Amino acid sequence: MKLNKIRKDYFNTPLNALMTLVMIYLIARFAWWFLNWAILDAVWIADTKDQALESGRGGAAWAFIINKLRFFIFGFYPKDEIWRIYVTFFTIVLSFIPYFIKGIRHKVIIFLAHIIIWPVLIFAFMGQVSTNDWGGLSLTFILSLLGLLYSFPIGMLLALGRRSSWPIIRGLSVAYIEFFRGIPLITILFMSSVVVPFFLPSQVAVDKIVRVVIGMTFFQSAYLAEVIRGGLQAIPKGQYEASDALGFRFGLQTYLVIMPQVLKVTISNIGGISISFIKDTTLVLIIGMFDLLGIVNPLASDSNWLGMEPEGLIFAGMVYWIICFAISRLTSRAEAKMNELPDVGVIK
C-alpha cells in the first residue's frame, strides 16, 4: 500500500523519478554535512576560539555557547545578583498554581493579582540591577510575559468596545485597533524608545523596558482584540438572550457566559498569535536591547570568540523554536481538553 503510493507520487514519470533521486541526494548531502558540523566534528570544550580551532576538525564551536551560557540566559546581569532572577521567575511560575485549584471561582481576581504582582516583582526586585544590564533569555521572557499579561485584558475590552452599542466607545475602540494594526511594531518601538522620552520632561524618566512593554502592549492588544472579536461573533444570539432572560447584566454575562465560550473557540488562534508576539520581541535588538537574539553580536565581539555568530544564531534560533513549539503543543492540548466531554453515564 504505502510503497505503491510512494511509487505513484514520486516515481510516476522518468523525469519525476530523476528529480526525486536528485533531491534525495542533495538532502542527504546536506544532512550529512550538517551532522558532521553540528555534532560529529563539533568542539564542546574550549576556552577560546583558537583553542577550539586547534582541537576541532572544522565543526561547530559549541564551546562558545557553553562558555557564554550565563550571558545567553541572564544577559549582563551581575553574577552575584542572579539569584534575584531565579526568585522572580520561580515566583511567577508558582503564581500560576491558583488557576489549577478547583474550588476557586474568581479566577479573574487571580489574574488581576498577576497584573499587579508581576511588574512589582520584576521592576522592584529584579530592578535592583539597572535594566541596562538585563538581557538574554530572561529578558525575552520578561518582555513576552508582561506584553501578553497586559494585552490580554486590554484586547478583550477593545473587542467588547468594538461591539458596543455606545457610539463613542465603539469609535474609540475602532480607532485604537485600526491605528495600532496599521503601523509596524518596529515603528512603535522606536516611538516608545526615542520619541516618547523626548516629549517627557527630563525629571520623568520612564525605564526603557517599561516603555517597550507599553509599546508592545499597544500593538498586541490591537491584534488580540481582532482575534477575540472573531470569537465573539461566533457566539450565537441565543446565548445572549438566554442569559439576559435569566437576569444577567452585561459584566457577569460576559464573564460567565460569553468569554468562556469565546476563549474556547479562539484558543488556537490566541496560541498562534502569542507565538508571533514572542518572536516579535526580538525586534528590541534594534533599539539596543540585548535579548536572546540581540546578545549574540556583543558576545561574538569578545576578542576570544570573534566570529562566533553562526553558532550563536543557531543556538538562539533553536531556543526560540523550542519555546514556540512548546506553546503550540500546549495550546493544542488545552484546546483538546476544553472540547473533551466527560464520559458520565446516567447517575444513580
Partner 1 sequence: MTEVIEKNREDEALSSTSGYIISIDNLNKWFGDFHVLKDVNLTVAKGERIVICGPSGSGKSTLIRCINRLEKHQKGTINVMGNELTENTKDVSAIRQEVGMVFQSFNLFPHLNILQNLTLAPVWIRKMSQKEAEKIAWQYLKRVNIAEHALKFPSQLSGGQQQRAAIARSLCMQPKIMLFDEPTSALDPEMVNEVLDVMVKLAEEGMTMICVTHEMGFARRVADHVIFMDEGRIVERQVPGKFFSNPENERTKEFLKQIHAIS
Q: How far is the CB of 99 from partner 1 (least distance, A)?
A: 17
Min dist. Cβ of residue 159 to partner 1 (A) = 18
Between residues 125 and 248, which has the closer beta carbon with respect to partner 1?
248
223: which residues sit within 8 A by CB, 6+ positions away?
155, 181, 273
Rounded Cα distance, 78 and 80, in Å: 6
Closest CA to 155 of 80, 95, 231, 93: 231
CB of 164 to partner 1, least distance (A): 17
Beta carbon nearer to partner 1, 1 or 347: 347
What is the closest distance, in whole angstroms, from the C-beta atom of residue 247 to partner 1 in the complex? 4
Q: What's the CA gap between 155 and 138, in Å, rounded? A: 25
Compare residues 167 and 247 and give the one whose CB is closer to partner 1: 247
Strand pairing partners for 291? 136
Tell me the closest approach of the beta carbon of residue 243 to partner 1, in angstroms. 8
C-alpha cell at 77: 546581569
Side-chain half-sphere exposure of 271, counting CA atoms within 13 A? 18
- Residues whose CB falls within 8 Å of the CB of residue 92, separated by 6 or more in sequence, listed in order: 118, 121, 145
Residues forming contacts to partner 1 in the complex (CB under 8 A) are 236, 238-239, 241-249, 252, 256-257, 260-261, 264, 341-342, 344, 346-348
Question: Alpha-carbon distance 299 to 309, whole Å?
Answer: 9
The burial class, CB within 10 Å (0-12 / 13-18 / 19+), for 86 is exposed
Q: Contact, 307 vs 265, CB < 8 A?
A: no
Least CB distance to partner 1 at residue 255 (A): 9
Provide, rounded to whole angstroms, the least separation between the CB of residue 239 and partner 1. 6
Spatial CA neighbour of 52 closest among 319, 316, 313, 302 = 302
Q: Which residue, 167 or 342, is less far from partner 1 as judged by CB?
A: 342
Name residue 39's amino acid.
I
The smaller minimum CB distance to partner 1, of residues 2 and 237, is found at 237
CA gap 214, 146 in Å, rounded: 9
**Coil, helix or strand at residue 249:** coil
**Please, which residue, 51 or 269, has the CB nearer to partner 1?**
269
Say how far residue 249 (Cα) sits from the centre of its chain. Answer: 35
Dihedral, CA atoms, 252, 255, 256, 261, nearest 10 degrees? 140
**Toward partner 1, which CB reaches closer, 212 or 267?**
267
CB of 98 within 8 A of CB of 41?
A: no
Residue 182 vs 238, nearer CB to partner 1: 238
Q: Minimum CB separation from partner 1 for residue 156, in Å?
A: 17
**Minimum distance from residue 233 beta carbon to partner 1 (Å):** 16
Of 192 and 254, the one with the shorter C-beta distance to partner 1 is: 254
